[in-house]
Amino acid sequence: MEPGQTTQGTGKNPRPPRVKNKNAAPVQITAEQILREAHDRRLEPTHSIPRQKISDLEELSEFRQRKRKDFEDNIRKNRLNIANWLKYANWEDSQNEFQRARSVYERAIDVEPRNVAIWMRYIEMEMKNKNVQHARNLLDRAVTFMPRVDQFWYKYTYMEELLGEVPKARNVFERWMKWEPDETAWQAYIKMELRYKEEERAHAIYERFVSIHPEPKNWIKWAKFEEEHNNLDKTRDIYTEAIQYLGDEKLDQKVVVAFAKFEIKMKEFERARVIFKYGLDRLPKSKSESLYNQYTNFEKQYGDREGIENVVVGKRRVQYEEEIEANSKNYDVWFDYTKLEESTGDVTRVREVYERAIAQVPPGNEKRYWRRYIYLWINYALFEELETEDIDRTREIYTQCLTLIPHKQFTFAKIWLLAAQFEVRQLKLQAARKLLGRAIGMCPKNKLFKGYIDLEMQLREFDRCRTLYTKYLEYDPASCSAWIKFAELEKLLGEQDRCRAIFELGIDQPTLDRPELLWKAYIDFEIGEEEYEKTRDLYNRLLERTEHVKVFISFAQFELSIPYEEGNTEGIERARKIFSDAYDSMKKKELKEERVLLLESWKDFEENYGSDDDKEVVAKKMPKVVKKRRKAADSTEDDVIWEEYYDYIFPDDEVQGRNLKFLAMAHAWQKQSSNQSTENA
């Protein structure tokens, strides 16, 4: 190829580009380090800035011209950087070149007309240099252009008030109020009028303010304002108007409480009582807690406590009766009703409500309908035992409840256990055992077995615990937690052989809910007993059932944890062999993710215990991560959706794949040669 000639049009591919080295650099530099060094160097000037003396007007003119050229160049480079504009205008201001500074600010406003910072700096420059009319014109332009920016209005009113132009400040506030700003703006207007003793104007502003923002807190502020200025009749009218305006839907307890407190200050206790009752009658329970507390405190100080309690309880009682009449199976209402009656202390009423509640038996024999209902019986029994201390009535409640539940369809272990615990508290252990034995015979459940066993464990009846565990495992042989607890009991009693036999029976079960927990407990037991050969045998038996990668890793870690004599590397060799066998097994099964997890553990092992050759062996087996594409599961023939995923390519698989490909090509060549020889014959 001649010099200067290109490869275009020759039909040949140009020389492929050289692949850059994509490995990590030997010295890593973080972004934080770069920023820190840059900051340190910025604070340390590399050269001293010469000081310049200006001796005449000509030099001053040249200096200003040079500075202006620098500012203009910066603006030309990046006209959207507002900091450059502000620096430029500030410098012109420092040179007392107000016309030029205004020109810069105006140009900046043309670039970003809605930038509040530009307007504020412009206005502050005029105010600082006492250019009042310029500042007033600027503020007028700003509030006209951006009336929703409160900073301009605050600055405008502050300037007019500072100049003593109160009528002009008032006019600005009036212009602002037409836009209906938030309550802080109205409060600022009111405070200004109060500073100049214009109370009538402040009253009128408050009335306009509440008409625009009629929230409950604003009504309260208005009323307190009038109260502070001794307009008591006006205060009462405001509270009354607020309650009428808000109505029953928007009525807030804070308004009612504030109104009642005002009447209490005026010594109008009957008025306050009527107001409290009015609020309690119209506000729901969830929105009247504070009101109820204030009413209670009021009656404690100025009225009859019994009377107010009767009023409130009677009101709630009527409300609950109405809800029960609408839906007698609403058990949440029954719970609230019984709690209300318990608070009154009338035992007869409490029992009457409880009897009416438990009479509402759920329809059908489905457990989900009984879940809330059964707690009525529990609360009833606890009330009789703890409050009235009627033991016979409590026992009768438990008996009736257990008779009512259809145990053939479903049962509630909680009831059986509570009844048994009640008998234990009465020192009737035999009755408690009969109850739990009856429960296990009629409707066995895991929770019942556990509760019965816990009872016997507390009584230190270990033979009974063994019997119960046996029945428990006959009922549910797949429960790994039961096998583990049974074995732990034997271990606690020092019966290691029994414990080992229980574990053996457990792992031989054909079906287990969580077999990994049982095997782990068995292995931990043998390790705790320092039976390393038996533990090794357990791991081998477990690997015959499952060749999970975590089992191999745990096996290797066990071998490393065995205490050998110093210099003995038997544990290390055993662990290395386990890793090697596990890798070969997973390679045959083509398990990629498990192999990666195993190699990571193997690599950590070799980093701690292996030589350089051993580390290199593991490093050569580490896979490459590649990104691939495949059809998504929700794709169709008409609409094919591709998704990306990551795959692992192992060096062993690549070599094996190349060998298989070479053998296939050899077979194809041999077949082709035999066909040609046949044709020639």
User: How many helices (H) and strands (E) in the chain?
Assistant: 34, 2
Q: Residue 105: is its pLDDT beyond 90? A: no
Alpha helices in 52-97 (DSSP H): 57-77, 82-94
pLDDT at 9: 44
Residue range 522-545, pLDDT digits in tens = 888 888 888 888 888 888 888 888
pLDDT at 7: 43
Q: Residue 476: is its pLDDT beyond 50? A: yes
CA angle 234, 239, 242 (to 5 degrees): 120
* Per-residue CA distances from 4 to 1, 7, 8 (Å): 8, 10, 12
Segment among 9-13, 36-40, 403-407, 588-592 with least mean pLDDT: 9-13
Residue range 53-71, pLDDT digits in tens = 766 787 787 787 888 888 8
pLDDT at 660: 45
pLDDT at 679: 58
CA distance 479 to 347: 46
Superfamily of domain 60-146, CATH level 4: Tetratricopeptide repeat domain (1.25.40.10)
503: which residues sit within 8 A by CB, 6+ positions away? 483, 487, 518, 521, 522, 525
What DSSP string runs through 405-440?
S-TTT---HHHHHHHHHHHHHTT-HHHHHHHHHHHH
Q: Residue 269: is its pLDDT beyond 50? A: yes
The single-letter DSSP state of residue 1 is -
The single-letter DSSP state of residue 7 is S
Segment among 279-283, 366-370, 436-440, 670-674 with least mean pLDDT: 670-674
Report for 450-454, 529-533, 612-616: range of highest mean pLDDT = 450-454
Q: Residue 396: is its pLDDT beyond 90? A: yes
Segment among 58-72, 333-347, 441-455 with least mean pLDDT: 58-72
Q: What's the mean pLDDT when you consider all of the chain?
A: 82
Residue range 565-576, pLDDT digits in tens = 776 678 888 888
Average pLDDT over residues 128-142: 87
pLDDT at 6: 42
pLDDT at 397: 92
Average pLDDT over residues 17-31: 73
pLDDT at 18: 67
pLDDT at 587: 82
Q: Nearest CA to 133 among 107, 165, 106?
A: 165
CA distance 487 to 34: 61
CA distance 47 to 186: 57
Q: For a pLDDT cut of 70, what percent of the chain falls above it? A: 88
Q: Residue 135: is its pLDDT beyond 50? A: yes
Q: Residue 466: is its pLDDT beyond 60? A: yes
Token code pair at residue 194: 């109060």
Q: Residue 10: is its pLDDT beyond 50? A: no
More confident residue, 193 or 589: 193
The pLDDT-based confidence of 199 (bands split at 50, 70, 90) is confident
pLDDT at 11: 47
Confidence (pTM)? 0.51
539: which residues sit within 8 A by CB, 6+ positions away? 523, 551, 554, 555, 558
Neighbours of 325 (CB within 10 A): 8
pLDDT at 308: 64
Token code pair at residue 552: 């191999």
Q: Residue 420: is its pLDDT beyond 80? A: yes
Average pLDDT over residues 228-255: 87
pLDDT at 4: 43
Average pLDDT over residues 634-649: 76
Average pLDDT over residues 326-352: 88
- Return residue ranges of the chain for CATH 1.25.40.10: 60-146
